[in-house]
Structure 1
Amino acid sequence: MTASTETAAVELRGITKRFPGVVANHDIDITVRRSSVHALVGENGAGKSTLMKILYGMQKPDEGTITIDGEQVSFSSPGDAIARGIGMVHQHFMLADNLTVLENVVLGGEKLYGIGSRARKKILEISKAYGLGVNPDALVEHLGVADRQRVEILKVLYRGARTLILDEPTAVLVPQEVDALFTNLRELKAEGLAVIFISHKLGEVLSVADDITVIRRGTTVGTAIPSETTPRALAELMVGSELPVPETTESTVTDRVVLDVKGLTLGAEGRKPLLDHLTFAIRAGEVLGIAGVEGNGQTELIETLIGMKHADSGTITLDGEDVTAWPTRKRREQGVGYIPEDRHRHGLLLEAPLWENRILGHVTEAPNSKGFWLDPKGAKADTERIVEEYDVRTPGIEVTAASLSGGNQQKLIVGREMSHTPRFLIAAHPTRGVDVGAQAQIWDAIRQARHEGLAVLLISADLDELIGLSDTLRVIFDGRLVADADPATITPQELGSAMTGAASGHLEHPEDSPPGNIADQNSAQTGGEDR
């Protein structure tokens, strides 16, 4: 790294942070140049999140110094960091759906430009200057994921940020949206801003970053210049192994239908159906991938299949038995596994120990229970097995789930669900926010279970993952399955185009969809209006 103090937006020197039983950061050094994109990469639990919380004033370091634009500072709160030009866009957006873009942006910053015409003028100035294309009057609930992200970026720019921290900003974007985001980042860089870009997608890191810092086990292990390194070399620095790939080479699909869904419809009061006559089947040994921009019915499909919502019409059959009216517990007991899209809301009790999280969703099943009684001894023993088998990095099974990194939380959930030998598995974003090492382990677990006859519904925003793991691919748009894709021939770019409504030569139309190209179908579904 050749950055000098004169050009440095941020310098972190000797940053150390200890928690009971663990050293999260140890003697970390990072220099972020002004007018640059600086990527921060490392496996889950490496200490990236703790480091960024320290820079954003959410935590105080035990040792080390923070220097902003050549001046040493000490932050006691995010307010202190914001005042010094640090802004953070979190992976999980913090927007109020029922408010407009303008109302979301000014919320908490009313003293800056008021809440009326001055605020609107400033928002439009920022939007134009950085190519964000934001409409101040749009309701946030009507915005797609990429537009919401631009609103979050605008929020921190509105507050005067000169250094932006972006945490996994591409996790839920399709390739075209990623390209648009990177264009925005180049605009920010050209205007003299510094961007700290946290990501597990190493190909994207190499395409957008000017400098890269690699963190492993709480300390910096190397820096890299993108033009002089490769994804494989970065992966080896991060986890000491080669970059994994999701590709599945052999077919294990059988003729036996495990899950059969016919005419599944879920309404929304006064609006178009959330699910509109979905029909599909998944066979033993098959991974069916569902591709779609978030908000097109994937969440409602998951919740209907697991029993959290009940369809207005249609049937769900599991191994020939109608389960449409079954409650969630009965579906779980009869072999439906569930890796939720939001592990914090639906997958874990964050303040409970790991062994209690092992029981979650499987209270009535061995080894968690004996007859009518819970069996803590059995649950604890099996939690130890999962921790060992799935490489969950933890000091013990008595620590809370909240104390684990996101990737280790995810490995615990995958281990829990696979431990009950499900017949049908709902895998919703199974590797979102996890590092390359954890990705490989989760992919291997799904591939192995598929080989043993598991039927899998895979929903993911990682298009390489969808294409690599799926035996069959279908595109969902506005609650309907509008096209089929061949995983052997389609590219992520073509699939991304289909997800946003454009036609592709590598797509076919499922039997339950009307004829015509996808754009025609989308126009019919939306009344010909832009969404």
Structure 2
Amino acid sequence: MTDTKVLSLNGLSKRFGSVIANDCVDLELHKGEVLALLGENGAGKTTLMNMLFGHYMPDAGTVEVADEAGQMQALPLGHPQAALAAGIGMVHQHFALAENLSALNNIVLGSERLSLLRRDLKAARAKIERIMQHTGLTVTLDTPVGRLSVGERQRVEILKALYRDVRILVLDEPTAVLTPQEADTLFENIGAMTREGLSVIFISHKLREVLAFSQRIAVLRHGKKVGEIATAEADERIIARMMVGADTPETARQEMTPGAPVLTLQDVSVTGRSKRDSLTGANLTVHAHEILGIAGVSGNGQSALAGLISGLNRPTSGRVTLAAEEVAQVTPTNMIKAGVGRIPEDRHHDGMVGAMSVAENMVIERLSDPEVQSAGFLKKDAITANAEKLTADYDVRGPGVGARARLLSGGNIQKMILARVFEQSPKLILANQPTRGLDMLAASEVARRLLEARAAGAGIVLISEDLDEILGLADRVVVIHDGEMIEAETRDREAIGLMMAGEVTPHEPQQSGAETQ
């Protein structure tokens, strides 16, 4: 990193209706620097970067970018092409790739003039091969993107930016769907590029990566920049305090003797659209007083497993047993009646009815309860009182319990779902990405409640793309890859990461680092 400034954001502000997404944010970036941009969900990180890249037009403020001679120049705002011309590239969290096209065609797509009569793919290939050799970001250029691994697709996205000769690279949650090994390799390659002068801003919620790979940290809270700190002077507690304005309570898993089985899958298969949407001969047992963590790269059968436990997917073969009784017909109603509490991955689509009120959503899975209805009529006063208590207990913020649930923010919808599930004291809890979209304090509270439910006798299936979350909470870890599940007999991050990529057996490596608890 040098002292040469390559980017300056000056007083950027953006409002969406009554919501202030960014409030007079200043930010600088230096040549060869890796700057981590942190903040709780809704803090304004992605909005700020979208203004830099021209996707959003700021309500106020300016952006200056160094030209090739090092002179700071004003950047025309609201124009992605102007940002690209100034040497700024952005890689979004969700890939924007055409799966039927080759990696080569994806990389050059959109970079050629429409007036060209012929495409010079030979020159493009030569340039990309030079970039791959220089950066270590290698992919097979002639393979359709749909046949590439998730890590290879991430490399294609970054190569798309580097092909356009960017000098400033913005990465939004670059490792969200990568194995630990893929994430480490990515940052090693990024480090090599920064030594050649590339400057990087990356948004992440994984503090381990932030502390390992950045030089400086900037933190947003409620749309404002609340501080900066050199990474060498930071630790997780300091960063958490900056992000949420308070210390995050530590949640420790205590050893506990497992109870009787609450869920058993015997040779269960679920047929989906592809192998990654399916389960093949799954055998799984979850006990009372136990959290079973399901680790895997996104798209390897987790949705099929979650759909099965929720009752949305019916098995094509095998037996499903809940609390020692075989489930004759797997349906949402039957699974709820059998004592399954469901925290779905897609909270908007599967977790609520947006047109119904917050209060109604909190009782939607127990409408036959005499506390909720009598003779077919809803007890509205009781429903309202229940919702007011739960919104206070779970810190659900919004326009009120009588408002439509769709008016809540994503994080508050998640809290509403958590309140509904935990208050039913289910025998089995499906926790599918339970902390996604929650700030650190709220995520810590979810962990505390999961551990409380475990102590009370529930069995919990925790599906998460955050391996640190699984290792911190789960009593046992099962890795899922291409629809097949195998139990890990180790808590070593590296070994589990290789299992997630389908490369090794589940046993403890002969030579490994310290265990991650």
Q: Structure 1 residue aligned with 2:358, among 355, 359, 368?
A: 355
Whether 1:265 aligns to 2:269 is yes
Stretch moving more, 135-144 or 238-247: 238-247
Matched, 1:443 2:440: no
> How many Å separate the matches in 1 of 2:448 and 2:470?
14
Structure 1 residue 97 and structure 2 residue 99: aligned?
yes
What is the CA-CA distance between 1:213 and the residue it aligns to? 0.7
Deviation string, structure 1 residues 471-492 (Cα, Å, up to 9, x no partner): 2222333333333325xxx232
Structure 1 residue 197: deviation in Å?
0.9
> In structure 1, what residue type is equivalent to 2:63?
I
Post-superposition shift, 1:81? 3.0
Kindly provide the CA deviation profile for residues 443-495 of structure 1, in whole angstroms up to 9, marking residues without a partner as x: 11211222222211112222222122112222333333333325xxx232232
SS for the counterpart of 1:253 is coil
Paired residue for 1:34? 31
What one-letter code is carried by the residue in structure 1 that aligns with 2:243?
M
Check whether the contact 2:314–2:330 (CA below 8 A) recurs between aligned residues. Answer: no
Stretch moving more, 283-292 or 378-387: 378-387
- 1:523 aligned partner: none
Cα distance change on mapping 1:203 and 1:314 into 2, 3 Å:
same
* Contact preservation (8 Å) 2:308, 2:315: yes
The question of 1:478 aligning with 2:475 is answered no
Structure 2: distance between partners of 1:322 and 1:300? 19
- What TM-score comes out, normalization by structure 1 length? 0.83
Q: Quick one: which amino acid aligns to residue 89 of structure 1?
A: V
Partner secondary structure for residue 84 of structure 2: helix
Partner of 1:513: none
In structure 2, relative to structure 1, the CA distance for the partners of 1:252 and 1:131 (3 Å cut) is: same
1:44 is aligned to 2:41: yes
Structure 2: distance between partners of 1:168 and 1:222: 20
Letter of the 2:358 partner, please give it: W
For 1:151-166, what aligned pairs fall within 5 Å after superposition? 151-166=156-171
Structure 1, 191-200 or 378-387: larger mean CA deviation: 378-387
Give runs of aligned pairs for residues 50-199 of structure 1, distance below 5 A: 50-69=47-66, 70-111=72-113, 114=119, 116-199=121-204
Q: 1:62 to 1:378 in 2, by over 3 A?
A: farther
Q: Counterparts of 2:277 and 2:20 in 1: how far apart (Å)?
A: 50
**Per the alignment, in what secondary structure is the counterpart of residue 113 of structure 2?**
helix
Q: Distance in 1 between matches of 2:384 and 2:98?
A: 40
- Compared CA separation, residues 210 and 269, structure 1 to 2 (3 A): closer
Query: What secondary structure, in the 3-state scheme, does the structure 2 residue paired with 1:187 have?
Result: helix
Aligned partner letter, 2:223: G
Q: 1:369 to 1:8 in 2, by over 3 A?
A: farther
Amino acid at match of 1:447: L
Query: Within 5 A, what are the aligned runs for 1:87-486?
Result: 87-111=89-113, 114=119, 116-251=121-256, 253-254=258-259, 256-267=260-271, 274-323=278-327, 325-347=329-351, 355=358, 358=361, 362=365, 364=367, 382-394=386-398, 396=400, 398=403, 401=406, 404=409, 406-485=410-489
Instruction: Give the stretch that moved more between structures: 53-62 or 392-401.
Output: 392-401
SS of residue matched to 2:278: strand
Match in the other structure for 2:515: none
- What letter is aligned with 2:133? K
Deviation at 1:110, TM superposition (A): 4.4
Q: Helix, strand or coil for the counterpart of 2:396?
A: coil
| Structure 1 position 419, deviation (Å) | 3.5
Q: 2:351 & 2:128 partners in 1: Cα distance?
A: 38
Q: Is the 8 A contact 2:135 2:193 kept in 1?
A: yes
Aligned equivalents of 1:239, 1:384: Cα separation in 2: 25
Structure 1 unpaired stretches of 5+: 509-531
For residues 272 and 362 of structure 1, what CA distance do their matches in structure 2 show?
A: 30
Shift of 1:281: 1.4
Q: Provide the C-alpha distance between the structure 2 equivalents of 1:205 and 1:483, rounded to a whole number of angstroms.
A: 29
Please say which of residues 15-24 and 257-266 is displaced more in the overlay.
Answer: 15-24
- The answer on whether the counterparts of 2:395 and 2:415 sit within 8 Å (CA) in structure 1 is yes
Aligned-residue Cα RMSD (Å) equals 3.2
Worse-matched range after superposition: 446-455 or 496-505: 496-505
The answer for the alignment partner of 1:495 in structure 2 is: 496
Provide, for residues 177-228 of structure 1, a one-character-per-residue CA deviation record: whole Å limited to 9, x for no partner: 1111111211331232221111122221111111111122221121111112
Tell me how far apart the structure 1 counterparts of residues 268 and 12 of structure 2 sit (CA, whole Å).
54
Q: Report deviation, 1:354.
A: 6.5
The letter for the 2-side match of 1:454 is A
Cα pair 1:285 1:453 within 8 Å, conserved: yes
Contact (CA 8 Å) 1:100, 1:139: kept in 2 or not?
A: yes
Residues 1:507 and 1:94: Cα distance change in structure 2 (over 3 Å): same
Deviation, structure 1 residue 163: 1.9
1:359–1:53 CA distance, 2 compared to 1 (3 A): farther
CA distance in 2 between partners of 1:74 and 1:375 (Å): 58
- Assess if the C-alpha contact under 8 Å between 2:24 and 2:224 holds in 1: yes
Task: Please report how far the alpha carbon of residue 304 of structure 1 lies from its aligned counterpart in structure 2 after TM superposition.
Answer: 2.3
**CA distance in 2 between partners of 1:313 and 1:182 (Å):** 43
- Once the two structures are superposed, residues 115-137 of structure 1 have per-residue CA deviations (whole angstroms, 9 ceiling, x without a partner) of 74344333333333321111122
TM-score, normalising length from structure 2? 0.86
Change (3 A) 1:108 1:380: farther
Q: How far apart, in 2, do the equivalents of 1:20 and 1:378 lie?
A: 34
After superposition, the Cα gap between the structure-2 partners of 1:269 and 1:16, relative to the gap in structure 1 and judged at 3 Å, is closer
